[in-house]
Amino acid sequence: MQTDDEIRASDSRGTAAEDVLDPALRDTEFNPSRRQPEPQPGALRRKAAELTVVVPTYSEHDNVTELVRRLTNVLAGVDWEVVFVDDDSPDGTYKLAKSIGATDPHIRCIRRVGRRGLSGACIEGILSSSAPVVAVMDADLQHDESLLPQMLQEIRQGADLVIASRYTAGGSVEQGFSGIRRWGSEMATRMAQTLMGTQVSDPMSGFFMIRREAIEDHAKALAGEGYKLLMDILWTAGKSLKIVELSYRFRERRSGESKLDALVTVDYLGLMFSKLFGGVLPVRFLMFGAVGVSGIAVHLLVLSFAHSTLHLNFAWSQFSAVMVAMTWNFVINNQLTYRDARLTGWPFVGGLLMFYLACSIGSVGNVGVASWIYSFHATAWLAGLAGAIIGSVFNYAISSALIWKRK
Ligand SMILES: Nc1nc2c(ncn2[C@@H]2O[C@H](COP(=O)(O)OP(=O)(O)O)[C@@H](O)[C@H]2O)c(=O)[nH]1
Ligand SMILES: [Mg+2]
pLDDT digits (tens, 9 = 90+) for 66-75: 999 999 999 9
Q: Which ligand sits nearest to residue 178's alpha carbon?
A: 1
Q: Coil, helix or strand for 135?
A: strand
96 touches 64 (CB < 8 A): yes
The pLDDT, as a whole number, for residue 399 is: 94
Q: Which ligand sits nearest to residue 205's alpha carbon?
A: 1
Q: What separation in Å is there between the alpha carbon of 100 and the centre of ligand 2?
A: 22
Task: State what percent of residues in the chain have pLDDT above 90.
Answer: 52
Average pLDDT over residues 3-28: 42
Residue 367 has pLDDT above 80, yes or no: yes
Q: What separation in Å is there between the alpha carbon of 180 and the centre of ligand 1?
A: 18
Ligand 1 near 327 CB (within 6 A): no
pLDDT band, very low/low/confident/very high, at 90 (cuts 50, 70, 90): very high
Q: What separation in Å is there between the alpha carbon of 142 and the centre of ligand 2?
A: 6
Ligand 1 near 225 CB (within 6 A): no
The pLDDT, as a whole number, for residue 40 is: 56
Average model confidence (pLDDT) for the chain? 85
Per residue in 136-174, pLDDT (tens digit) is 999 999 999 999 999 999 999 999 999 999 887 766 776
Average pLDDT over residues 375-393: 85
Taking CA atoms only, the protein residue closest to ligand 1 atom 19 is: 258
Ligand 1: nearest atom to the Cα of 55: 23
Taking CA atoms only, the protein residue closest to ligand 1 atom 14 is: 258
Long-range contacts of 238-243 (CB under 8 A, 24+ apart): 238/196, 238/198, 238/200, 240/160, 240/214, 241/160, 241/161, 241/210, 241/214, 242/158, 242/159, 242/160, 242/161, 243/159, 243/160, 243/161, 243/162, 243/163, 243/200
